[in-house]
Chain A
Amino acid sequence: MLAEITQVVVFQSLAVGVAALLVAAALAALLFSFVQTFRRAAVLPLAVRYACSRWINIVSVAGVALGVAAIIVVMSVMNGFISTQRRMIRGSLSDLTIQPRAVPDGNGSSRMPGSFEEYQSALEGCPHVVALAPRFIWYGLLFPKGVLDIFNLGREGQDFAAKIIAVDPNAEFKVSEFRRWISPVGEDDPGLRDVERRIYTPPGDLDRPFARLERSGSLPKDALLLGVSKAYRLRLQKADRVEITTFGTKSSRENPTPPNQLFDVVGMFHTGDQEFDSTVVLITIPSLQKLLSTDVNFTEIAVKLDDYRNADAAREEIGKRLLAKKLIKGRDYNGLPSLKIEIQTWEEQKQNLLAAVDNERSLLGFILFFIVIVATFIQFATLSMMVNEKTRDIGILSTLGASWGEILAVFVDLGVAMSLAGEIAGVALGLFLARESTLAAVERFLEDRFGLKMFNPDVYLLKSLPSEVDLVQVAIIAGATLVAGVLFAIVPAVRAARLDPARALRYE
């Protein structure tokens, strides 16, 4: 293990060292040629004339431009994907979640270390904490009333299984995007199939999402909000009646009948997280307390922060306060002091998925940069050919008194000019193509003209190809391309500068 870590560290340091060396070499060459260009009046006009004199230079510039544009477009689409995926992955999670570990209650069962109100008072005025909301999480089976087919459990059991999250709607509004989940579905909302968009029905009153339904013929039951995907799978609609069966808080010997209760589906929700929307049902905390016959009013606390970047500082402060009141254990599974088990950021809760998505982007960027490297290779070949072609000119420049520095600067300037021209064109083209409207137009064109479907909304659960241009990323791409361009220009330029003038003039 240690050997592996050492190997990774050595490899990383080496890679960083080589990259730093290359950047330093490119900067040194740039600086040198910049100084020469100002010190010697012949350098720039010659470089510009050489750059404009051959059509193959335009091919080389176009190669760099296309490479840069391709990276910008792909990275922007990846950014778009990642930020929508982050929204989808985040789903219901608040900035921080406090999940205190239950303690034995002395009667063979367990209890929470304190009531929600105790936690609330412990965190009163806590820096960075804006709001708290209790959540009571339980599991059970949900059956559409009247269509129970128990022998289908084997096949469709997972659809009947439900994660029951009991919330306090007013507190929930303050810590999560609860209002968005229960709002009518928008065109841009990700994470829904078209069929789900069609069946989605919000609750009647968004301010009182758990208000009971007025029904004719029978008394209204407690309200339940159903994830839109679960509703689709179980073919449930608003106003349908469902039954929840679960296990009690006490052992089955004490409580032999599993608790069960009827609920009315008062609406649906859509968080964008498919898994969440297909497994979760939302009810109120009193409903769950009634179902379980318990006075426990939470199992976790959702925390809203003033700024997510303060998550670590907030965790420290919350941890300190809760530890002082013995409301958390503050230890990891090995018994070592740690807050990360009981107080987690949403990213920590989804770290595997997020790491995979981020990794995809880095990998794609790395692979795509090879396009630029190939393009700069073309530039390298072009410049090398030019040095061969211009051997006699280099001899002439020497007879006129040009120093090797001047000759070197002419060819470095030429490389930089070609690289810059390619980059400027590439960045402009990339920024134009990376606009969502352009992408949509290209997508439409390809589909109408060639029947090519670039993007399937049902696979990615998005209405259209997303794109998010990150200007810092564009600057890094441009910088790296320039470095590559300069590095590839150095070799032919040095060859030109080192040419023996006497031999160069014999080249006729």
Chain B
Amino acid sequence: MSDLPSQGEQAVLEAIDVHRDYSIGSSTIPVLKGVNLRFLPGETVSLVGRSGVGKTTLLQILGLLDRPTSGQVKVRGRDVSQLSRSQRAEVRRREIGFVFQFYHLIPELTALENVMLSQRIGEPFLQALARRRSERERATALLERVGLGHRIRHRPRQMSGGELQRTAIARALFAKPSILLCDEPTGNLDADTGAAILELLFQLQTENRTALVMVTHDLEVARRCERLVTLRDGRVEKEELLAAGMPPIQ
């Protein structure tokens, strides 16, 4: 493990002996059984493993959407696993962005509004009103950057899968998070669109120096990351460092 992230460097996100059990009736099913992981700023990490191994559960715990049954989750060295719901929401708003397989855009809002939503949440009304023009320009620029300059006023139902995922990526990065958590970001797209999305994701992640944690089934996609973490039976089975990652999929 000497070639893995050094203990001395400040991790942006850390899981320490994370357990997660689910109760079904009177029986308890352990899903995560002591996961230890560290993520450094700007690093790209993929989480792989069979279905049901706890990848999504781990991602939700890392994203503060769920609490570990025991163990700690640290964001920039601060234990956040025991914070209140509102405090965790605040940390999420400041530090974490999400990209999902099914895009999860708000259907009633346009692409531009969906992107700006991540900034508006938690922002005082008057401040948002005062910064509306500059924020709109920034969101428009970001949408143009992801190739959707012509779609900013479109609603999700008027857009293709690839366009939806580009919007979702723009939304996730608009609030400048230090951690980007992606759950099968290309799982619902055809190969070409998926490749393009992945390319975009890595470009933006590099530009923003955001730590990227990606859950995927696709090993080829996983190997694009710098580090590959394999989960098995609720534990980290192995961690591999992939130098600069595999070349882009053509």
Contacts and interface: CB of A to CB of B under 8 A. Distances in A.
Contact of B65 (A42, A46, A405, A505): A505
A463 B102 CA distance: 69
Interface residues of B, number: 36
B124 A398 contact: no
Contact of A400 (B93, B102, B108): B93
A502 B60 contact: yes
Interface string B72-111: 0000000000000110011011101010101011111100
B94 A44 contact: no
Nearest to B105: A396
Given A393-B106, A502-B65, A502-B66, A400 B125 contact: no
B125 A41 contact: yes
B123 A398 contact: no
A401 B122 contact: yes
A53 interface: yes
Interface stretch (A32-40, A163-171, A288-296): A32-40
Contacts of A46: 106, 108-109
A53 B106 CA distance: 12
A403 B125 contact: no
A362 interface: no
A43 to B, nearest CB: 8
Contacts of A403: 85-86, 89-90, 122
B127 interface: yes
A501 B106 CA distance: 15
Contacts of A406: 121-122
A399 interface: yes
Residue with the highest number of chain A CB atoms closer than 10 Å, among B86, B117, B126, B127: B117
Contacts of A37: 125
Nearest to B127: A41
A406 B171 CA distance: 19
B129 interface: yes
Contacts of B102: 508
Contacts of B176: none
Interface of A: 37-46, 49-50, 53, 392-393, 395-406, 500-502, 505, 508
24 contacts: A38-B126, A40-B122, A41-B124, A42-B122, A42-B123, A43-B125, A46-B106, A53-B107, A393-B106, A396-B104, A396-B106, A397-B106, A399-B63, A400-B98, A401-B90, A401-B93, A401-B96, A402-B89, A402-B121, A404-B86, A404-B89, A405-B86, A500-B66, A502-B66
